[in-house]
Amino acid sequence: TFTNKAAAEMRHRIGQLMGTSQGGMWVGTFHGLAHRLLRAHHMDANLPQDFQILDSEDQLRLLKRLIKAMNLDEKQWPPRQAMWYINSQKDEGLRPHHIQSYGNPVEQTWQKVYQAYQEACDRAGLVDFAELLLRAHELWLNKPHILQHYRERFTNILVDEFQDTNNIQYAWIRLLAGDTGKVMIVGDDDQSIYGWRGAQVENIQRFLNDFPGAETIRLEQNYRSTSNILSAANALIENNNGRLGKKLWTDGADGEPISLYCAFNELDEARFVVNRIKTWQDNGGALAECAILYRSNAQSRVLEEALLQASMPYRIYGGMRFFERQEIKDALSYLRLIANRNDDAAFERVVNTPTRGIGDRTLDV
């Protein structure tokens, strides 16, 4: 599956259903299982035993240093764009030498950045998230006896949130299943929202073509929403192209009609939301029964300002994860450096934390 939370929920439910522990089952995210695989076969994967995982922030810092070392203008060749380019290529299963530049100077430069980045990671024993899947896939391709071992061990495979898989993840599943593995996928082509990060909703159709004997079971009864909400949702999603097709329904009540407010801008939107909550409160409603759902964290600032102006108490759920906090990342970087003195990304993070008067110029020397 795709999140650690979902993996934990799976383990819990399997334990309840079976009335026992999961035994030899592997339950986890794609990246978690690939990581486990590479730890077990690090030598066959051409990795040091103590290889470290590079998060996106460390990846960005490393690319920034490499772009500078290659005498490239950071404004013309932004590190963040380089990171997107490299991750996208890896999601497609491509190494630098696989990429066809067709004489395009821009493509050739990004190709060189990718090559320099990969060499730096290999020297320091670093593996980014996209590399976990690509390296695990290459391990199976290059070591047929290891692939055969896992094919014999895992004859039954379940994949959740299949609409969010990218090309390398699909290739991973296809390779592991072979021609004899039993595969069950759970996915909703109408819920595919991660195309911007490489997800291929077409993988559902590919699966049906690659496994022609697969039975399709449509889960159309909805237990969460009212009839009015489902009618609106069905009317909207019918406009999507290339759908497998389904019609959601419910035994529940019609519910309140859906109301739509077209805000002039984000400030107007925030004011409208707060005014609706105020009206609810004035009519005897409790604030504890109100929730504001927003699509991205960037939207929270304007909403928070509107709530503060209205002297309305609130609590934000979610926010920054524990391991994303600066002090936690700093502590982990010290531990990574102790474990691997060649970990340049960890060194760059902590060399001036706490402040020691060491800047970029000193590091360049």
For the chain, the C-alpha Rg in angstroms (whole number) is: 25
pLDDT digits (tens, 9 = 90+) for 1-10: 888 888 889 8
Q: Do domains 4-45+133-210 and 52-124 have the same CATH topology?
A: no
Beta strands in 117-230 (DSSP E): 126-128, 156-159, 182-185
- pLDDT band at residue 363 using 50, 70 and 90 as cut-offs: low
pLDDT digits (tens, 9 = 90+) for 124-183: 999 999 999 999 999 999 999 999 999 999 999 999 999 999 999 999 999 999 988 899
Q: Which fold has domain 4-45+133-210?
A: Rossmann fold (3.40.50)
Q: Are strands 126-128 and 156-159 parallel, antiparallel or unpaired?
A: unpaired
In CATH, the number for domain 52-124 is: 1.10.10.160
pLDDT digits (tens, 9 = 90+) for 182-224: 999 999 988 887 777 777 888 998 999 999 889 999 999 999 9
Structural domain spans, the chain: 4-45+133-210, 52-124, 259-310, 322-364
In CATH, the number for domain 259-310 is: 3.40.50.300
User: Which tokens sit at 250?
Assistant: 């419910």
52 membership: H or E segment, kind and range:
strand 52-54
* Bridge partners (DSSP) listed for residue 259: none
Sign of the CA dihedral 263, 269, 273, 274? negative
Instruction: Specify whether the CB–CB gap between 133 and 176 falls below 8 A.
Output: no
Q: Give the closest residue to 219 by CA, choosing from 193, 251, 242, 187.
A: 187
Structure-model confidence comparison of residues 241 and 251, the more confident one:
251
CA distance 122 to 124: 6
Q: Give the closest residue to 14 by CA, choosing from 5, 22, 24, 3.
A: 22
